[in-house]
Chain A
Amino acid sequence: GAVVSQHPSRVICKSGTSVKIECRSLDFQATTMFWYRQFPKKSLMLMATSNEGSKATYEQGVEKDKFLINHASLTLSTLTVTSAHPEDSSFYICSATLTGTSGYNEQFFGPGTRLTVL
């Protein structure tokens, strides 16, 4: 089946540093990937749509200069949290879109990355 991986699964960093999170579709190509953020006991909030070969589309209220997204290939999208602060601590989840033979799109989710900023 379609598998999406994320790396790292957990990261702890100091305030002011940058952290890169990778999202990979392991057995399919994905022209579109999504990045979500999940706050404790809350639902997922869509941060941005990552399109291979073009700039990401950010949701309202998400700082594009703080959350840098690069979709360098059809199997890899990266999210870099720049100058991280404690309020950036969260669970970040990516998903990759698989287009089936019928044209129906389905999203497959990565296992998530827990970021803790001290």
Chain B
Amino acid sequence: GNSVTQMEGPVTLSEEAFLTINCTYTATGYPSLFWYVQYPGEGLQLLLKATKADDKGSNKGFEATYRKETTSFHLEKGSVQVSDSAVYFCALSGNTPLVFGKGTRLSVIA
């Protein structure tokens, strides 16, 4: 079945550091890939998505490229801010419902 594996946290970075959170997936067919963010005490918000191979999703300085050859969708940001502290979930959908990774907690310190 479909599954998502993402790097386990927590990840602690200083402000303005470069961020990478790895995500790989196993799926049949051609799934859509997503990154969701969950701020403390809140629900999930879609951060970015890519619906086909080689697509790059981007939002708020975050980027992820759908790599079919490596079955990956790594999340990157060039310069993190304290306000980026949250839990990030990688997810895929070959068809609804979504399959989530376990989440990676990011803490950014000033």
Contact = CB atoms under 8 A, between A and B. Distances in A.
Contact of A43 (B45, B49, B93, B100): B100
Given A109-B44, A109-B45, A112-B42, A97 B102 contact: no
A108 B61 CA distance: 21
Q: Kindly name the residue among B36, B51, B89, B98 whose own CB sees the greatest number of chain A CB atoms within 10 A.
A: B98
Given A42-B103, A44-B89, A109-B45, A104 B51 contact: yes
A111 B105 CA distance: 18
B43 A44 contact: no
A34 B96 CA distance: 9
A104 B95 CA distance: 10
A34 B98 CA distance: 9
30 contacts: A6-B43, A34-B96, A34-B97, A34-B98, A42-B102, A42-B103, A43-B100, A43-B101, A44-B89, A44-B100, A46-B98, A49-B97, A93-B44, A95-B44, A95-B97, A95-B98, A97-B96, A104-B51, A105-B95, A105-B96, A107-B93, A107-B96, A107-B97, A107-B98, A109-B43, A109-B44, A109-B45, A111-B42, A111-B43, A112-B43
Interface of A: 6, 32, 34, 41-44, 46, 49, 93, 95, 97, 104-112
